[in-house]
Chains A and B, each alone.
Chain A
Amino acid sequence: MEKINTMNYLFAAYVAIWIILALYLYSIHSREQSLREEVRRLRDLLEKKSRQ
């Protein structure tokens, strides 16, 4: 155990954890953005229809 530099593995593991978390949060954020955009477009459409 002593001969192996375990800090490299520890660093790699924590980097991997943060990358996975960041990717998941990013995917949630982008899905939320597209959902908001869709809602906004629908609202605009409804407003246009009501004016007509």
Chain B
Amino acid sequence: MDQRGQARLDEFLGALLFAGMILALYMAFLQAPREKTMGDLQRIFYFHVSSGITGLTAFAVNFAASVMYLVRRNRWWDHVALSSAELGVMFLSIVLVTGPIWAKPVWFVWWTWSPRLTSSLVLWMLYVAYLLVRNYVLDPDRRALVSAVFGIVYCVVFDSLVAGHPSSTHAGDRRIVAVHAPGFLYVLGSFSDLVHLSPAPAFLPRSVAAGGGVAAAACGHGFLKGAPGLWKRSTP
């Protein structure tokens, strides 16, 4: 794609972002009904859960791209791994900030050191370290190699840490996954233009946000249709 085409695509994604976020806010605040037990506070989930799904998917992409780099030794895969790690850290940051804000009035504590929450925090720290470590390796090939190894190890760590500790309110509960299934649109939006990543990474975050906006709206609608009685268990 030439520069003109990229600029047009960038503008289009920018417009999609704006429309998506407006639609998301409309759906989350006006379209979705007030939840019976938690009231308006539950509206945090429309972004919290979608961000969680996107962040963890980003780490999965990081793993796949790291493996591909080791196999092919093509720098493009290193770019994909780096981008997905950045996105994962950003979305997991949203999860880690909005989670405690929701927990305080519901659980009456900001944070519980449950295995799931703690391991999510550790995972976030690991990927922040991944991004920092890259700055200390100057040779690009060596940096890509070290990052690929870290990416693969981290994904294994994630699998044993986070996924190995299901809890009553987080993933592993199929009903929650089903209700938030539209959140996968978020994921699609986030990664839809990875193919353009090498020449122009700048519009990637815009498409992420656009996808996120639409997905958050869809999540609101999903919750509207399928959530009654879902949040009876509100313990960590």
A interface residues (Cβ-Cβ under 8 A, vs B)? 1-2, 4, 6-7, 9-10, 12-14, 16-17, 20-21, 24-25, 28-29, 32
Contact = CB atoms under 8 A, between A and B. Distances in A.
B27 to A, nearest CB: 13
A36 B49 CA distance: 36
Contact count band on B: 20 to 34
Contact of A4 (B51, B93, B105): B105
Interface string B48-68: 100100000000000000000
Nearest to A12: B101
B102 A28 contact: no
Interface of A is mostly: helix
Interface string B73-89: 00000000000001000
A39 B150 CA distance: 30
Contacts, number: 62
B-side interface mostly: helix
B104 A32 contact: no
Contacts of B121: none
Contacts of B38: 1, 6
Contacts of B43: 10
Contacts of B209: 21, 25
Contact of B41 (A10, A16, A17): A10
B190 to A, nearest CB: 12
